[in-house]
Chain A
Amino acid sequence: MFEVKASMAGSVWKITAEEGSKINDGEDVVILESMKMEIPIPAETSGTIKELKVSEGDFVNEGDVIAIIEA
């Protein structure tokens, strides 16, 4: 089980992965937006997305868990 965490505070602009689907190391899970900057948050391991903890439009703080990946 790996946690995907927000690297900055901001709102969830787009979710680019689906719960239950496979994801490869380096592929984007979500794109965060803050202060006119979009930051993609990639998976740091390959596996299955077990849970997405956020919805589009949600506000997340730095370090918040965005998704859980089961390797």
Chain B
Amino acid sequence: MFKKILIANRGEIAARIIRTCQRMQIQTVAVYSEADQQAPFVKMADESYLIGKPRVNESYLNIDKILEAALKSGAEAVHPGYGLLSENAPFAQRVKEAGLTFIGPEGDVIAKMGDKIAARAEMKQAGVPVVPGTEEAVTSVEAAKAAAQTFGYPVMLKAAAGGGGIGMQAVHSDEELEKAFEGNSKRAKAFFGDGKMFIEKLIEEPRHIEIQVLADHHGHAVHLFERECSIQRRHQKVVEEAPSPFLSEKTRQEMGDSAIKAVESLQYTNAGTIEFLVDRNENYYFLEMNTRLQVEHPVTEEISGVDIVEQQLKIAAGDKLELHQDDLQINGHAIEVRIYAEDPNTFYPSPGTLSNLVLPEGPGIRHELAVESGSEVTPFYDPMIAKLVVHGSDRNQASERLAKALHAYEIDGIKCNLTMLKRIITHDKFREGDTTTSFIQNYYLPTLTNH
């Protein structure tokens, strides 16, 4: 096992990785920007290196600076966390060239899964169901319209290189498509340097359900069941749970089998997640693969008893997976809510000083934190400042514990989405398990007009 690793990330995920390293007696090296000098994860690490100015281009995306810190500190491996450089194939390659281990899959696999068109083709070949759509990028509005005709409206317009909902739009007619095509292509070009677009049949009222996988370098892979992540705002997840309240046992097994097929076809290694869209008849379609640790991984840890970061470290160190599919079981139910520093009505960011933080305690409660009382929440990074994870013997107990915990949770000094989270998880439709990607649109936003 490694003696020392560097964490090329910040916030709650850096802190979470450090915790597992401490338990495994692995020394940790943090890198941080000028904006994060006081951040809890920097204090938690055994060593820390200031790598640049607040903006990510000048710090957390600066590969040279990160590698310099890694080599100087004597770290043997680099954990990329999520976001930032975690799905950057050249970074994985550079880490390897520097003689260090990248804690994640091979660079070429990251690159393949990062290109949505290549990913789709690969999955189709592996026998994993994909959403009907164009196999090649469509280069003109005319070609886009012709493609839309064959699948029938509504369709989804997507940037090949997109992420985080950028360059993605549902369109319902030729007129809408004409308007949306140019704009989204331009935005994708500006954000990702690639304006290629493709078109898919829109799955209406879908659920977003994903399968966590682990695969070692010895050809052995397991899945850790599903996470239901349908409740989203601005195409970003807000509430995640495991297991899904919707899936039948039969579909659960089929999706798990599909995920393993994908892993085998790709010769995937380390932790990854295959995201699927699931329609109301439980038909499921490959959406994308995230070749890294996910924000919502703790719900899987809570129901499976597996520390995913520990498994990542062991796999990267060349160990054989000790987990076997037949031994893995779902134990109870877990729900995670993401706490964002943002206005709960407009979803606009709300940076500022977090003057007071009160955390609920109790059975089944787990906190993942980027902040502490007195922290400065800066405008430079993602607005997620904490995650609250609750485990219970079943979904009812988990929901009740979560509701209680959210009522005891206090954040002062900045706006945050606690009130929104309380409304979501106490809503009858949530209790009934009616969690689709339009939940916020259908059930949360309408409640705002009454107040």
A: residues with CB less than 8 A from B are 7-11, 33-37, 39, 59, 62
Please determine whether B383 and A35 come into contact, CB atoms closer than 8 angstroms.
Answer: yes
Q: In chain B, what residue has the closest Cβ to A37? A: B349
What would 16 A/B residue contacts be, using CB atoms closer than 8 Å? Answer: A8-B343, A9-B349, A9-B350, A9-B352, A9-B379, A10-B379, A33-B379, A34-B349, A34-B351, A35-B341, A35-B342, A35-B379, A35-B382, A37-B348, A37-B349, A37-B383
Chain A residues with Cβ below 8 Å from B341 are 35
The answer to whether B381 and A9 touch across the interface, beta carbons within 8 angstroms, is no
Are B352 and A7 interface neighbours, CB within 8 A?
no
Q: Which residue of B lies closest to A7 (CB)?
A: B348
On whether the beta carbons of B348 and A39 are closer than 8 Å, the reply is yes
Complex CA distance for A53 and B342, rounded to whole angstroms: 25
A62 contact set on B, CB distance < 8 A? 350
CB proximity of A15 to chain B, nearest CB, Å = 17
Q: How far is the CB of A31 from chain B (nearest CB, A)?
A: 13
Is there contact, CB below 8 Å, between B351 and A10?
yes
Q: How far is the CB of B216 from chain A (nearest CB, A)?
A: 34
Q: Is the CB of B325 closer than 8 A to any CB of chain A?
A: no
Among B164, B343, B352, B379: residue with most chain A CB under 10 A: B379
Residues in A neighbouring B383, C-beta threshold 8 A: 35-37
Residues of B within 8 A of A (CB-CB), count: 15
B379–A59 CB distance below 8 A: yes
Which chain A residues border B346 with CB–CB below 8 Å? Answer: 7-8
Question: In the assembly, what is the distance between CA of A18 and CA of B45, in Å?
Answer: 48
CA distance A63 to B346 in the complex (A): 15
Query: Of residues 148 to 192 in B, which have CB atoms within 8 Å of A's CB atoms?
Result: 164
| A residues in contact with B381, CB < 8 Å | 35-36
- Which residue of B is nearest A61, CB measured? B352
Against A, the Cβ 8 Å flags (1 = close, 0 = not) of B379-406 are 1111100000000000000000000000
Nearest B residue to A36 via CB reads B382
In the complex, chain B residues whose CB is within 8 Å of the CB of A59: 379
- A59–B351 Cα distance when bound, in Å, is 11
Q: Chain B residues near A37 (CB, 8 Å)?
A: 348-349, 383
**Interchain residue pairs A-B with the least CB separation, the first 3:** A35-B349, A8-B348, A34-B349
Q: Chain B residue with minimal CB distance to A62? A: B350
A7–B345 Cα distance when bound, in Å, is 12
Q: In the complex, A36→B191 CA distance in Å? A: 11
Give min CB distance, A33 to chain B, whole Å: 8
Q: Name the A residues within 8 Å of B348 (CB-CB).
A: 7-8, 34, 37, 39
CB distance from A61 to the nearest CB of B (A): 8
A33 to B382, CA, bound (A): 12
Chain B residue nearest to A10 (CB atoms) is: B379
B101 to chain A, nearest CB (A): 29
Measured CA separation A51–B373 after assembly (Å): 39
Looking at the assembled complex, report how far the CB atom of B343 sits from the nearest CB atom of chain A, in whole angstroms.
Answer: 7
Closest B residue by C-beta to A8: B348
Chain A contacts of B380 at CB under 8 A? 35
Q: Which residue of A lies closest to B380 (CB)?
A: A35
Identify the closest chain A residue to B340 (Cβ). A35
Residue among B346, B349, B381, B383 having the largest count of chain A Cβ atoms under 10 Å:
B349
Mark interface residues in B346-361 (1 if CB within 8 Å of A CB, else 0). 1011111000000000
Chain A neighbourhood of B382, CB < 8 A: 35-36
Q: B352: which A residues are within 8 A, CB to CB? A: 9
| Closest Cβ–Cβ distance, residue A16 to chain B (whole Å) | 15
Give the docked Cα–Cα distance between A10 and B383 (Å). Answer: 12
Tell me the bound Cα distance from A45 to B376 in angstroms. 35
Tell me the bound Cα distance from A5 to B62 in angstroms: 35
Q: Which residue of A lies closest to B381 (CB)?
A: A35
Looking across the interface, which residue of chain B has its beta carbon closest to that of A11?
B379
Q: How far is the CA of A33 from the CA of B348 in the complex (A)?
A: 10
* A29 shortest CB reach to chain B, Å: 17
Residues from chain A with a CB closer than 8 A to the CB of B351 are 9-10, 34-35
A8 to B346, CA, bound (A): 10
Rounded to whole angstroms, the CA-CA distance of A39 and B234 in the bound complex is: 13
B87 to chain A: closest CB distance in Å? 16
- Identity of the chain A residue whose Cβ is nearest the Cβ of B347 in the assembled complex: A37
Least distance between B125 CB and chain A CB atoms (Å):
34
User: 0/1 per residue, B281-323, Cβ < 8 Å to A?
Assistant: 0000000000000000000000000000000000000000000
CA distance A9 to B382 in the complex (A): 14
A7, A8, A39, A59: most-surrounded residue (chain B CB, <10 A): A8
B382 vs chain A, min Cβ distance (A): 6
Residues on the A chain within 8 Å of B164, using CB:
36
